[in-house]
């Protein structure tokens, strides 16, 4: 009996799994031990791999990605100088530092390089105080930005990432943030820099800052990690967070973002090998597909005011994208779609209420294309043909049928005036009535005369 139940359970699980959507992460054959991991196509947002990417994690110094982009968006001139206050005295032994001195003046640009390359907690504190008034004010700015970006499971309390139970994120949210930040040219320039020379200030000599990202760091001990494909962005570590790495890379026109949070290996060495293996997998697996390759069913929309003789009876076929439009997907995913083992979903968002007249190839909205819950890309939606507007015929009076006369001499026929009698007919009728009255009067008059004569004769005889 128990064996039968076990077999039944296995069969049910097999049936359920057969309906599970294809997930790109199942294609990666490597080993990932870090707690929270995500690999994303930076251009489309397609997730190529994820491990516990939506669970709470501590970001450590990868927090500074948000600090950096906020400063870039709120600073009018990166050459503006900032006075270094006593706040830097709070960051000493045990902190990663840029090396700031109270009373000095340092350009915002230099503070940003000090923030992102050596991961200076002192630079983060100075920038937060300058642009937010204090930590609370800057944290409010950080949380507001996180909300705007859709980072639903992120909360900040400081600009540097030193541990706090109330300072947390997820690997997925970090990918959203990084994808956004990498669209800023100044941000890309900073995080891709192997080393940067800070100019001398009134309290410090010229000095060189080195990137903590081993993929970029030019020092001899990091040569074995160097990889020309990597374009940024930030490292991090605390005892609670473990080793953290946000890495971006570009190769053959493909742009990837890899998030690793919670590397618990000795010396946090695992994050480097895991990131490289994932990025290499991404470059190999990622491809593009034309819309015609996705076996998408015909997409139509009804045009309620289409002309009565419309060739589609008011049903308009939609064209998704142009001939050159493509979406991102993995090679395995594309094969599954071609074999009918994976289904593509289309979510169309129209710009306005559909109504004729519509021109051929007129843009009507956008379509987000996904597979297995994974967004592949968004394309424009066009009308496949023109649709004319239904013409409303105003009600009209039906004219009375009137006979027409034909001109004997070939002139234009002259219509008769309806069915009314002519003037001659009226005059004739009146004369006829008068004649009849006269006749009646004559008869009556003659009859009366005869009766009077008859009375007189009787009187004479008497």
Chain segment 260-313, per-residue pLDDT in tens: 999 999 999 999 999 999 999 999 999 999 999 999 999 999 999 999 999 999
Same-domain status, 41 and 91: yes
Give the lowest-confidence range in 95-104, 197-206, 250-259, 370-379: 370-379
Same-domain status, 366 and 258: no
Domain end (from 220, 252, 285): 285
Same-domain status, 91 and 150: yes
User: CATH number for the domain including 118?
Assistant: 3.40.710.10
Would you call 61 a catalytic residue per the annotation? Answer: yes
Q: Is residue 143 part of a domain?
A: yes
Domain end (from 327, 354, 383): 383
Helices 121-132 and 135-149 pack at an angle, to 10 degrees, of 90
Same-domain status, 239 and 374: no
Q: Looking at residue 91, what is its pLDDT?
A: 96
Band of residue 448 on the pLDDT scale cut at 50, 70, 90: confident
Same-domain status, 264 and 304: no
Band of residue 19 on the pLDDT scale cut at 50, 70, 90: very low
Position 45 pLDDT exceeds 50 = yes
Residue 351, domain extent: 295-383
User: CATH number for the domain including 307?
Assistant: 2.60.410.10
Q: Looking at residue 456, what is its pLDDT?
A: 59
Q: Which of 34, 44, 51, 61 is catalytic?
A: 61
Q: Is residue 252 part of a domain?
A: yes
Same-domain status, 280 and 299: no
Position 431 pLDDT exceeds 70 = yes
Would you call 405 a catalytic residue per the annotation? Answer: no
Q: Is residue 104 part of a domain?
A: yes
Contact by Cβ (8 Å): 149, 180: yes
106-125 confidence digits (pLDDT tens): 999 999 999 999 999 999 99
Average pLDDT on 400-420 reads: 42
Give the lowest-confidence range in 4-18, 141-155, 414-428, 439-453: 4-18
Question: Residue 196 and residue 204: Cα distance in Å, rounded?
Answer: 15
Spell out the SS3 assignment of 411-444.
Answer: CCCCECCCCCCCHHHHHHHHHHHHHHHHHHHHHH
User: Does residue 242 come out as left (phi exceeding 0), alpha (psi in the -120 to 50 range) or beta?
Assistant: left
Would you call 457 a catalytic residue per the annotation? Answer: no
Within 10 A of 341 (CB to CB), how many other CB atoms are there? Answer: 10
Same-domain status, 271 and 368: no
Cis-peptide, bond into residue 357, ω within 30° of zero: yes
Same-domain status, 117 and 262: yes
Q: Looking at residue 27, what is its pLDDT?
A: 73
Same-domain status, 95 and 158: yes
Q: Is residue 391 part of a domain?
A: no
Q: Is residue 161 part of a domain?
A: yes
Same-domain status, 315 and 271: no
Same-domain status, 265 and 306: no
Same-domain status, 359 and 276: no
Q: Is residue 17 part of a domain?
A: no
More confident position, 402 or 286: 286
Position 419 pLDDT exceeds 60 = no
CA 100 to chain centre: 43
Q: Which of 119, 192, 325, 370 is catalytic?
A: 119
133-143 confidence digits (pLDDT tens): 999 999 999 99
Based on the structure, what is the number of domains in the chain?
Answer: 2
Position 16 pLDDT exceeds 80 = no
Q: Is residue 232 part of a domain?
A: yes
Domain end (from 285, 304, 329): 285
Q: Which of 51, 64, 234, 254 is catalytic?
A: 64
Q: Is residue 315 part of a domain?
A: yes
* Mean pLDDT of the chain, nearest integer: 88
């Amino acid at each position: 009996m128990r064996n039968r139940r076990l077999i039944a359970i296995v069969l049910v699980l097999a049936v359920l799994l057969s309906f599970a959507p294809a997930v790109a992460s199942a294609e990666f054959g490597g080993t990932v031990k870090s707690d929270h991991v995500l690999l994303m196509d930076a251009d489309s947002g397609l997730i190529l791999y994820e491990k516990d990417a939506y669970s709470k994690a501590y970001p450590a110094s990868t927090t500074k990605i948000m600090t950096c982009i906020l400063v870039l968006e709120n600073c009018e001139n990166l050459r503006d100088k900032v006075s270094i206050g006593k706040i830097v005295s709070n960051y000493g032994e045990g902190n990663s530092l840029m090396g700031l001195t109270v009373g000095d003046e340092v350009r915002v640009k230099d503070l940003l390089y000090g923030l992102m390359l050596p991961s200076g907690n002192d630079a983060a504190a100075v920038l937060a105080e300058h642009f937010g008034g204090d930590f609370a004010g800057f944290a409010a700015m950080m949380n507001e930005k996180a909300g705007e970006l859709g980072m639903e499971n992120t909360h900040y309390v400081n600009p540097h990432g030193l541990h706090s139970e109330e300072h947390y994120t997820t690997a997925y949210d970090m990918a959203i943030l990084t994808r956004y930040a990498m669209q800023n040219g100044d941000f890309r320039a900073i995080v891709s820099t192997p080393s940067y020379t800070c100019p001398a200030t009134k309290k410090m000599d010229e000095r060189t800052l080195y990137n903590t990202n081993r993929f970029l760091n030019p020092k001899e001990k990091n040569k074995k990690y160097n990889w020309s494909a990597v374009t940024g962005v930030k490292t991090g570590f605390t005892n609670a967070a473990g080793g953290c790495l946000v890495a971006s890379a570009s190769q053959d026109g493909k742009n990837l973002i890899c998030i690793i949070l919670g590397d618990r290996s000795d010396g946090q060495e695992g994050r480097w090998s895991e990131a490289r293996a994932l990025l290499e997998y991404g470059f190999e697996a990622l491809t593009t597909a034309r819309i015609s390759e996705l076996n998408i069913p015909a997409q139509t929309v009804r045009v309620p005011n289409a002309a009565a003789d419309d060739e589609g009876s008011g049903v308009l076929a939609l064209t998704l994208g142009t001939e050159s439009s493509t979406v991102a997907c993995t090679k395995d995913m594309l094969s599954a779609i071609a074999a009918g083992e994976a289904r593509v979903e289309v979510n169309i968002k129209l710009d306005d209420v559909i109504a004729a007249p519509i021109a051929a190839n007129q843009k009507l909205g956008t379509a987000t294309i996904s597979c297995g819950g994974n967004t592949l890309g968004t394309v424009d939606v066009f009308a496949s043909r023109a649709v004319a507007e239904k013409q409303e015929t105003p009600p009209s009076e039906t004219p009375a049928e009137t006979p027409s006369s034909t001109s004997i001499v070939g002139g234009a026929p002259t219509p008769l005036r309806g069915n009314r009698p002519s003037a001659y007919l009226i005059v004739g009728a009146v004369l006829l009535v008068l004649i009849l009255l006269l006749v009646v009067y004559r008869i009556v008059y003659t009859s009366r005369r005869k009766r009077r004569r008859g009375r007189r004769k009787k009187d004479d005889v008497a």
